[in-house]
Homo-oligomer: A and B are copies of this chain.
Amino acid sequence: MSDEKNQIPTFDDVLEAHERIKPYIHRTPVLTSRFLNELTGAELFFKCENFQKAGAFKVRGACNAVFGLDAEKAAIGVATHSSGNHALSLSYAAGQRGIPVTVVMPHTAPQAKKDAVEGYGGRIVECEPSTTSREAVFAEVVAESGADFVHPYNDPRVIAGQATCSLELLDQVPGLDAVIAPIGGGGMISGTCLTLSNKAPGVKIYAAEPLNADDAARSLKAGHIIADDAPNTVADGLKVPLKELTWHFVSNYVSDIFTATEEEIIEAMKLTWKRMKIVIEPSSAVPLAAILKNPEVFRGKRVGVIITGGNVDLDALPWN
């Protein structure tokens, strides 16, 4: 990793990213549900990145990285490893710029995500579903192709891109008391911290993760990164561990990290589909599960809830 990839991104990077990626992404809508407000006692504002290009917020960071490359680097192409949505997003971004892209992906990833990567023109190299295998296979791919590594979250370009999501949210919903987002590797949360700490430092930042992959919650408590190898959860976007850059933001700006069981996640996912009529993936349901489980934290508050994506294998729904 070059020095510039170790730099903490700044709020100026976010504003630059915002302009750079505008032509390639949607300004996604914010939806509300009277039913869920009454159920939780909070005012919830769902930022719907499931309606984003490629079906997830990750296209923000991917586009910022791809469109920030100089012509020479771009021609060689980009590569990444990802449990799914970053792979789709980087493939989409590379396709928009017309440059090559290779993604290393666990062979257990949902077929819908593999199909979508290939649909955008991405090349897939499969690995085992563990962090260790993923990183080993990926090192080979980069050595062989010379492609620019766009890490799914531990990359300042990616974090600055994800930060544009809460920049829009602040513009769309005045007077927020808190924002809650799922946490896996921490890219979305880090972007949220970057924007809010600069633009709205009074807004509390919460994260939510599966109890089965609660490494971020344990990290926050311990005061240093704890990384698990291959945790198992229905929220397949949230299996990866924190890294240096995202740990910087999580440790400095996140008020608390809540956990939810597999059952609670699936229940919150189904409730969202049923009541809001939107297709969201399991990872996106973890914040609502956390709010339902900890009503005293959110009651009476105006809460931004990041719906991170909607890429679901409709033939393998978790409640069937």
A278 neighbours in B (Cβ, 8 Å): 277-279
* A277 x B279 contact (CB < 8 A): yes
* B314 x A274 contact (CB < 8 A): yes
Contact with B along A290-320 (1 / 0, CB 8 A): 0000000000000000000010001101011
If A55-B277, A278-B278 touch, whether A319 touches B310 (CB-CB below 8 Å) is no
A276 to B319, CA, bound (A): 21
* A51 x B277 contact (CB < 8 A): yes
A151 at the interface (CB under 8 A from B): no
Q: Smallest Cβ distance from A305 to chain B, in angstroms?
A: 16
A273 neighbours in B (Cβ, 8 Å): 279, 314
Q: How many copies does the complex hold?
A: 2
A276 neighbours in B (Cβ, 8 Å): 51
**Residue of chain B at shortest CB distance from A53:** B34
A100 at the interface (CB under 8 A from B): no
**Residue of chain B at shortest CB distance from A280:** B277
If A29-B29, A320-B320 touch, whether A277 touches B314 (CB-CB below 8 Å) is no
- The answer, among B50, B280, B314, B319, for a CB contact under 8 Å with A315, is B319
**Residue of chain B at shortest CB distance from A119:** B35
A279 neighbours in B (Cβ, 8 Å): 273-274, 277-279
A55 neighbours in B (Cβ, 8 Å): 277
A55 to B274, CA, bound (A): 9
A310 neighbours in B (Cβ, 8 Å): 277
A270 at the interface (CB under 8 A from B): yes
* B50 x A277 contact (CB < 8 A): yes
**Residue of chain B at shortest CB distance from A309:** B277
**Residue of chain B at shortest CB distance from A274:** B314
A274 neighbours in B (Cβ, 8 Å): 112, 279, 314
Q: Smallest Cβ distance from A89 to chain B, in angstroms?
A: 15
A51 neighbours in B (Cβ, 8 Å): 31, 276-277
A55 to B51, CA, bound (A): 19
Which one of A29, A50, A274, A320 has the greatest number of beta carbons of chain B within 10 Å?
A: A274
A287 to B273, CA, bound (A): 22
Contact with B along A149-190 (1 / 0, CB 8 A): 000000000000000000000000000000000000000000
A50 neighbours in B (Cβ, 8 Å): 277
Q: Smallest Cβ distance from A177 to chain B, in angstroms?
A: 25
A-B contacts, 8 of them at CB < 8 A, read: A31-B51, A51-B276, A112-B274, A277-B280, A314-B317, A314-B319, A315-B319, A320-B320
